[in-house]
């Protein structure tokens, strides 16, 4: 190979690498997949620790606390339900088993914290970076809406950064990025 041919091949590699948007979009999707699998399926933070379990401290609930009308009806129609009045207008039921009991009443799992009561927060979490960000080597995961940002911020404040990646996840994503980079070199005959 002549020096000019080598320069042309490296120029092609540089051109392909400067348009790395597709690779970075895949990096973001991979990171999000790792996070969701670990947190939702196992209830673990990025360091491999289980999140502290759901609260069993008594909880005041109203109709909007429930996502299933049948669960709300059975709770509010139960003669043993204790009631509290707040501001002389709000009548709330006392749920003695706390948030854990509320989840159980809705048919939600309580073996581990998965940050998934209605599912809206996780549905809102996505790769939110732009193609321009990706072309600069940046991939951002976050919420697409203000409601999602509020939920994510509240959960992060209580439990730590739930969108962190573990060291193994970072290594796996780095390996995938490296393999994609190698493909660019091979594509250009290097």
| Interval 39-77: pLDDT, tens | 999 999 999 999 999 999 999 999 999 999 999 999 999
Residues 36 and 19: their CA atoms lie apart, in Å, by: 28
Ordered DSSP codes for 121-159: HHHHEEE---HHHHHTT---EEESSHHHHHHHHHHHHHH
Q: What is the average per-residue pLDDT within 165-182? A: 90
Q: Is 146 exposed, middle or buried (0-12, 13-18, 19+ CB in 10 A)?
A: exposed
Residues 160 and 51: their CA atoms lie apart, in Å, by: 9
Six-digit token string for 141 = 């995961």
Spatial contact of 3 and 79, defined as CB atoms under 8 Å apart: no
pLDDT tens track for 77-91: 999 999 999 888 889
DSSP 8-state secondary structure symbol assigned to residue 66: -
């Amino acid at each position: 190979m002549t020096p000019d041919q080598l320069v042309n091949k490296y120029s092609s590699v540089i051109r392909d690498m400067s348009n790395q948007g597709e690779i970075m979009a895949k990096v973001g999707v991979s990171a999000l997949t790792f996070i969701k699998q670990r947190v939702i399926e196992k209830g673990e933070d990025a360091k491999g620790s289980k999140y502290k379990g759901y609260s069993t401290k008594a909880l005041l609930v109203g109709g909007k606390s429930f996502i299933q009308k049948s669960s709300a009806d059975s709770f509010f129609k139960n003669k043993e339900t204790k009631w509290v009045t707040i501001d002389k207008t709000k009548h709330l039921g006392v749920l003695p088993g706390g948030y854990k009991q509320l989840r159980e009443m809705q048919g939600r799992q309580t073996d581990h914290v998965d940050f998934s009561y209605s599912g809206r927060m996780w549905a809102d979490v996505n790769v939110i970076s732009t193609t321009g960000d990706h072309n600069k080597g940046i991939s951002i995961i976050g919420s697409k809406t203000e409601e999602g940002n509020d939920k994510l911020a509240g959960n992060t404040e209580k439990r730590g950064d739930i969108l962190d990646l573990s060291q193994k996840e970072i290594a796996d994503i780095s390996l995938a990025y490296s393999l994609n980079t190698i493909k660019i070199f091979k594509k250009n005959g290097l």
